[in-house]
Amino acid sequence: MPFNWIVTKSQPHADSLVIQLRRQGFSALAICCIEHRWHDWPELRRIGASGAALLFVTSRAAAARIDVPQGILVAAIAPTTSATLEARGIRVGLAAHGGVRELAQAVLDSPAIPAGADVFYPTSDAALRQPEHQAAVATLSQRLRVHTQAVYSTVAPDNLVQELAALRAPDAPGGPPLGYCFWSPSAIENFAVARGFELPPGPAVLVGGSTERCWRESAPPHWRHAYKHDADTPLEWSLRFLERSAATGGTG
């Protein structure tokens, strides 16, 4: 059973993914539930000037924008964040699969990073409030000096309410039932505030542990058909699995 998959990423990533999914035979639509507004962090330009330092990168958004002086060790979550850095010519010296807590543990355990080194951790204002972020900082702080800064704000697009209302309108174009893809707690929170949960419920694909936690805390009971996607595998695998499960009456 096909779904029309709502991609909630920020632009330009949402449109890029929608094009990719349509080429693979899926129905997909970009409804951006987040956008980023950038802030300067002058200390990043001086990273490493006073001793051993590490740049700790946990989001694709940060990886796409930050600059790194030559010779600075970079740690990043694999595969998406690390690949974004590598595509910009920034070598990733330490990568970990999973999430921010797993990356923090890998950094703590690495003999390549001396005790007392400075860790620069650029992130979003929303991430600073997440338990996963706080746990990672606690882990790193066991033997390193951690500097965190919100280098971008994650906000709801100005037109989100109107875009979701158009999907609920009686004259909305027909087509397959809706499915939903979320990559961050902020996207879920903005979706909820913009009355997204008044749309017909459908399967939700959740990427990341904090995203899954937010969904458990926020989604109404009749929206609980959710599937945690393994970020190490192509998204289309999860979408195809859910469509086949729906066609055979499975729960996913």
Tell me what pLDDT residue 34 has: 96
Looking at CATH, the fold of the domain delimited by 38-154 is given as Rossmann fold (3.40.50)
Helix extents (H) in the chain: 13-23, 60-63, 80-87, 100-109, 131-140, 160-168, 185-193, 209-218, 235-247
pLDDT tens readout for residues 210-235: 899 999 999 999 998 899 998 888 99
Instruction: State residue 191's pLDDT score.
Output: 98
- CA nearest neighbour of 29 among 230, 202, 244: 202
Cβ 34 vs Cβ 186: under 8 Å: yes
Phi and psi, residue 225, nearest 5°: -80, 85
pLDDT digits (tens, 9 = 90+) for 95-124: 999 889 999 999 999 999 999 999 999 999
Q: What is the strand order of the sheet 226-229 is part of?
A: 27-30, 4-7, 178-182, 204-207, 226-229
* Largest distance between two CA atoms of the chain: 62
DSSP β-ladder status, 73-78 and 27-30: unpaired
Q: Are 66 and 81 in contact (CB under 8 A)?
A: no
Least Cα distance to 150 among 25, 24, 64, 37 occurs for 37
Domain ranges of the chain: 4-34+157-247, 38-154
- The average pLDDT across 127-137 equals 93
How much of the chain, in percent, has pLDDT values that exceed 90?
80
Enter the pTM of the model: 0.78
- Taking only the tens place, the pLDDT of each residue in 151-190 is 999 999 999 999 999 999 888 888 899 999 999 999 999 9
Buried b (16+ CB within 10 A) or exposed e, 138-156: ebbeeebebbbbebbebbb
Domains 4-34+157-247 and 38-154 agree in fold: yes
**Helix 100-109 vs helix 131-140: crossing angle, to nearest 10:** 0
**CATH of region 4-34+157-247:** 3.40.50.10090
Confidence of residue 252 (pLDDT cuts 50, 70, 90): very low
pLDDT band at residue 250 using 50, 70 and 90 as cut-offs: low
Q: Quote the Cα angle for 34-63-104, to 5°.
A: 100
State yes or no: pLDDT of 251 exceeds 70. no
pLDDT digits (tens, 9 = 90+) for 44-103: 888 988 899 999 999 988 999 998 888 899 999 999 899 999 999 999 999 999 889 999
3-state secondary structure of 101: helix
